[in-house]
Amino acid sequence: MRKSAILAGLVLAMPFAASAQSVTPTQVMAATCAGCHGSELTGAGGVPSLRGQQKDYLERTLNDFKSGQRPATVMNRLAKGYSPEQIAELAQYLAGLK
Amino acid sequence: MGRIDRRGFLKLAGATTLAGAVGAPYVARAQAAPKVVIVGGGFGGASAAKALRRWAPSIQVTLVEAKRSFVTCPYSNLVLAGWRTMEQITFGYDGLAKAGVTMAHDTATAIDAAGKTVSLAGGQSLAYDRLIVSPGIDIKWGAISGYDEAAAQKMPHAWLPGEQTVLLRKQLEAMPDGGVVMMAIPANPFRCPPGPYERISMIAAYLKQAKPKSKLIALDAKDAFSKKPLFEDGWKKLYGDMVEWVALSKDGQVSKVDPAAMTLETQLGTVHKAAVANVICPHYAGRIARDGGLADGSGWCPIDARTFESKLIKDIHVIGDATIAAPAPKSGFVANSMGKVAAAAAIDMLAGREPSAKTWVNTCYSHIAKDYAISVAGVFSADANGAVVEIKDSGGVSPREAADEFRRQEAIYADSWYDSITKDTWA
């Protein structure tokens, strides 16, 4: 009881800078995918889920969209806006979502 | 205390705390749970509110929005076609409350940037550490001579969706077959660049089915517009002579309207008589941004695109249609993206950290017919001066040479897109 009160006091006094992590550019990139793929990136209607996929598959698919090797309606145009490094980071991040 | 900015003050306060001064808990508590106030509950403001709660749950987020529910501009043209109901494009704020956002259903009347408070019509004053203003647009009454609020009841703009959308739909339903629908379209910049041309398509779709002897003439204050070849191909293929688009160079700019006579007069004096007139009058940033000193002489708000902080007043971000963000279009999707970038920046700035550059997207669909849609996409970032830049070779519009199946596929994706972007913003 006493211990938890002290802990609560510590959390309250913890400066915002220490408690709030920076949102990474990759997190923001993934968050803007939500506009079509859904808030949780689980897909919507005809738009596929980005969750539960392997990193290699996601990275290859995005790079194939970028090169035009894999046809799509809108994803070719969007993938061209990302560098190979951004695609790798995005694939890593998406593959790590629970 | 002399001239010292807030960040410097917090550093000083921190140093004093370390030295063991009394009275520090208040500062510590303020740092532990900063206050962010957001004005405007559209695509930008609601997205920013949810992003802040998701990424930094210790922030106290208050969203100021007068309306109890929000009608989206996207898909409001489909209501004109008769394919959607108003209920289907209206969203409430329960999802935001559930996400831990404090809703203040009131009108923001003034911003005190020095005192860091926002006044509400109800008399309340909200203190903020950072303010995010997502004010949308206001119609610039009188920008077309004779076009005021009373005129809009006879010649709806329907560019702020809601009653205006319903009014225009009713007028189209009441119009006799063979009537002429006139549209006036503004010069750049304006909300939703492909919107007027989707509207031409949706009204034509309705006329073709219900009033096939009618005609639609669109008078435009420009010579070029978003997705032009794609729209023109679609109109020719689906609506033939029913649609006539008049460019600026062919005397397309409407300078005067007479709602009693139901006429539109162009710059060179040509008078067009209308059975139904849809006057998309020029507009500018929403009132709270203009009154709050966030807009420049153009009526729009200059921002630093790395953070969406105002270039005119510090500690205030401006997002959405009100911003000067070309080449990014004034779209709901862009406003939603800006809300996320601004939220990420606000978290870093509250923590006294330098925000990193972000990359974000736009995707917009326009219908030309029920199973025929086209899209525009773009990937954006900011340059070293804080201007919005579109990533080279990215984005663009749907291919001009495409099979019917491609257009049909985009119409299916458009529905998924609308579902996702509205849920992401409000659900």
Quick check: A78 and B395 in contact, CB under 8 A?
yes
CA distance B156 to B372: 27
B160 and B266 part of one domain:
yes
- CB distance B130 to B83 below 8 Å: no
Measured between beta carbons, the chain B residues lying within 8 angstroms of A38 are 420, 423-424
Strand partners, B177: none
Which of A10, A21, A22 to probe the B interface (max B CBs under 10 A)?
Answer: A22
Q: For residue B171, give its domain range.
A: 141-281
- Do B132 and B105 reside in the same domain of the chain? yes
Q: What is the pLDDT of residue A4?
A: 52
A16: contact with B, CB 8 A cutoff: yes
Residues B133 and B211 in one domain: no
Closest approach of chain A CAs to the CA of B44, in angstroms?
12
- Do B247 and B262 lie in a common domain? yes
CA distance B359 to A82: 9
Query: Is B184 within the bounds of a domain?
Result: yes
pLDDT at A60 over 50: yes
Express as a percent the part of chain B with pLDDT over 90: 93
Which of A19, A27, A82 lies at the smallest CB-CB distance from B58?
Answer: A19
Q: Output the pLDDT for position A19.
A: 87
Strand blocks (E) in B286-394: 301-304, 309-310, 316-318, 323-324, 360-369, 372-382, 388-390
The pLDDT of residue B293 is 98
Q: Which of B327, B354, B381 is the last residue of a domain?
A: B354
How close A65 comes to chain B (CA, Å)?
12
B48: in domain: yes
> In CATH, what number is assigned to the domain containing residue B326?
3.50.50.60
Statement to judge: residues B275 and B330 lie in one domain: no
* Count of domains for chain B: 2
Interface test with B, best of A27, A29, A32, A62 (most B CBs within 10 A): A32
B21 confidence band (pLDDT: 50, 70, 90) = very low
Count the neighbouring beta carbons within 10 Å of the beta carbon of residue B125: 11
User: Contact at 8 Å (CB) between B338 and B43?
Assistant: no
Mean pLDDT within A22-45: 96
Q: Would you call B359 helix, strand, or coil by DSSP?
A: coil
Q: Is residue B171 domain-shared with residue B202, that is, in the same domain? A: yes
pLDDT of residue B31: 61
Region label for B395, one of left (φ > 0), alpha (ψ between -120 and 50) or beta (otherwise): left
A17 and B353 within 8 Å at the Cβ level: the answer is yes
What are the φ and ψ backbone dihedral angles of B386, each rounded to 5 degrees? 85, 15
- What's the pLDDT at A1? 44
Partner residue facing B379 (CB), from A22, A73, A78: A78
Q: A19 and chain B: CB distance < 8 Å anywhere?
A: yes
For B347, which of A23, A35, A74 is closest by C-beta distance?
Answer: A23
Is the domain of B38 the same as that of B111? yes
For the ranges B18-22, B72-76, B83-87, B291-295, the lowest mean pLDDT is seen at: B18-22
- In the stretch 365-394 of chain B, residues with CB closer than 8 A to chain A read 375, 377-380, 391, 393-394
The reported pTM is 0.92
* Cα four-point dihedral sign B370, B374, B379, B384: negative
State whether B221 and B206 are in the same domain: yes
| Cβ within 8 Å of residue B8, ≥6 positions away | none
**With 80 as the cut, is the pLDDT of residue B12 above it?**
no
| Domain edge (last residue) among B281, B301, B316 | B281
> Which pLDDT band holds residue A14 (cuts at 50, 70, 90)?
confident
Domain ranges in chain A are: 22-95
The nearest CA of chain A is from the CA of B156 a distance in Å of: 30
Q: Average pLDDT in the A63-87 region? A: 97
Q: Please answer whether residues B64 and B40 qualify as being in contact, where contact means their C-beta atoms are separated by less than 8 angstroms.
A: yes
Q: Do B29 and A13 touch (CB under 8 A)?
A: yes
Region B229-238: mean pLDDT is: 97
Of A21, A44, A82, the CB nearest to B379: A82
Domain-embedded: residue B15 = no
Fold of A22-95: Cytochrome Bc1 Complex; Chain D, domain 2 (1.10.760)
**Averaged pLDDT for residues B331-347:** 98
Residue B9 has pLDDT above 60, yes or no: no
Instruction: Give me the mean pLDDT over the B336-351 stretch.
Output: 98
Task: Let me know: does B163 contact B153? Beta carbons within 8 Å.
Answer: no
In whole angstroms, what is the distance from residue B9 CA to residue B21 CA?
Answer: 15
Model confidence at B5: pLDDT above 70: no
B326 and B207 in a single domain? The answer is no
B69-76 mean pLDDT:
98
- Asked if residue B163 belongs to a domain, the reply is yes
| B66/B162 Cα distance (integer angstroms) | 14
> What does pLDDT average to over chain B?
93
Q: What's the pLDDT at B13?
A: 39
Considering B354, B374, B390, which residue would you say is the last residue of a domain?
B354
Does some domain include residue B56? Answer: yes
- Sequence-ordered alpha helix ranges (H) in B223-378: 228-239, 287-291, 332-350
For residue B13, give Cα distances in angstroms to A19, B23, B27, B33, B213. Answer: 18, 10, 7, 16, 74
